[in-house]
């Protein structure tokens, strides 16, 4: 299996931004620099930032635009692209020290955005709200969350979470009232549109969640990646990947032998994304990335297929977008995989 030719996968690694499509892997830019933020824009574009302040935008035709450097002297750590009434796309960018920027020209230039003042500098995560295309949430690792009902505009207090900061929040793709969130030590669930959260029943005590993801489809599933144990698990032990088939009411582990057969199980899962092949909308594909530079594709019914077998630097995050055309074989840094 080489991945669907109708999907382009962008990979943020510790050594640059890569693109994978239909068996071809290409280095797009940011060589030797970690990618600190990766986000999808409307229209199939993707924007990325490096630790050194470079900004890259991948275009639908496969070309890459090197944008101006970041206007701030701190890493950008999250992006969110939103429809901008009458003006195309509004791009929000949050920094590692709690600043918020906005761009009305797809990252060509930025200006400060109206954002809450944090009690102490901390990374911000900017999150979209399904069904409300010009709304956004801000989550601070130091605690607290804010909501903007209409952007550009002002963020209002959403919750105060100093004791257990919400580090990530994701919404059900079909039921706008159902949300999942993670703190440092637990997974939470909301059934009132993220106004209140309760711990998920059955999440093991002491198991620290690392990432959450909802995938779409007729029967949406939720996934959680946990921080791995200090010792490599046995094949019959739970892997760091957990899944829910009841909209996050309960999670169940995927066994290590399913996710990591028969390879060295000592590595960590670092990112997850989901997509549907545009030619066959029935099958849901799950993409898994590791700190060994591997990219796996899984349907949750068979063992994962290896798309990239450790040919990359450690992968931090993944974005999958519909492919507008075949990749340009003239792109520098192309790797042809078996």
The answer to whether 245 touches 220, Cβ cutoff 8 Å, is no
pTM, rounded to two decimals: 0.88
- At 143-165, the pLDDT tens digits run 788 888 888 888 888 766 555 68
149-163, 227-241, 307-321: which is most confident: 307-321
Q: What angle do CA 44, 49, 51 make, to 5 degrees?
A: 160
- Please tell me the predicted confidence (pLDDT) of residue 270: 92
* pLDDT value of position 330: 45
Q: Give dist(CA 285, CA 265) in Å, integer.
A: 22
Residue 259's SS3 state is helix
Summarised one tens digit per residue, pLDDT across range 87-137 is 688 899 999 999 999 998 989 999 998 888 887 888 999 988 877 778 888
Domains (range + CATH), the chain: 7-336 (2.130.10.10)
Tell me how crowded residue 282 is: count the other CB atoms within 10 A of its CB. 8
Taking only the tens place, the pLDDT of each residue in 245-290 is 898 999 999 888 887 644 454 568 899 998 877 665 566 788 999 9
């Amino acid at each position: 299996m080489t991945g669907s030719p109708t999907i382009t996968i962008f990979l943020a690694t510790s050594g640059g931004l890569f693109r994978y499509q239909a068996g071809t892997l290409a280095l797009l830019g940011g060589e030797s620099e970690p990618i600190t933020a990766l986000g999808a824009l409307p229209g199939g574009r993707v924007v990325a930032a490096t630790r050194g302040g470079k900004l890259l935008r991948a275009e639908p035709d496969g070309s890459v635009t090197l944008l101006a450097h970041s206007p701030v002297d701190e890493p950008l750590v999250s992006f969110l692209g939103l429809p901008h009434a009458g003006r195309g796309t509004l791009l929000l960018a949050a920094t590692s020290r709690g600043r918020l920027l906005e761009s009305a020209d797809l990252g060509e230039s930025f200006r400060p955005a109206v954002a809450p003042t944090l009690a102490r500098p901390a990374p911000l995560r900017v999150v979209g709200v399904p069904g409300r295309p010009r709304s956004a949430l801000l989550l601070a690792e130091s605690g607290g969350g804010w909501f903007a009902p209409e952007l550009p505009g002002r963020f209002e207090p959403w919750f105060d979470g100093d004791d257990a900061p919400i580090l990530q929040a994701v919404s059900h793709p079909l039921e706008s009232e159902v949300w999942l969130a993670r703190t440092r030590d637990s997974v939470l669930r909301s059934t009132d549109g993220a106004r209140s959260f309760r711990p998920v029943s059955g999440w093991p005590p002491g198991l620290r969640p690392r990432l959450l993801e909802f995938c779409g489809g007729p029967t949406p599933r939720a996934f959680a990646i946990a921080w791995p144990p200090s010792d490599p698990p046995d094949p019959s032990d739970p892997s760091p990947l957990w899944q829910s088939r009841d909209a996050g009411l309960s999670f169940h582990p995927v066994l290590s032998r399913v996710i990591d057969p028969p390879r060295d199980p000592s590595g960590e899962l670092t990112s997850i994304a989901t997509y549907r092949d545009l030619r066959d909308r029935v099958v849901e594909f799950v993409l898994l990335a590791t700190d060994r530079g591997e990219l796996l594709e899984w349907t949750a019914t068979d063992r994962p297929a290896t798309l990239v077998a450790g040919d990359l630097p450690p992968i931090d995050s993944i974005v999958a977008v519909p492919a507008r055309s075949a990749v340009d074989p003239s792109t520098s840094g192309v790797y042809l995989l078996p």
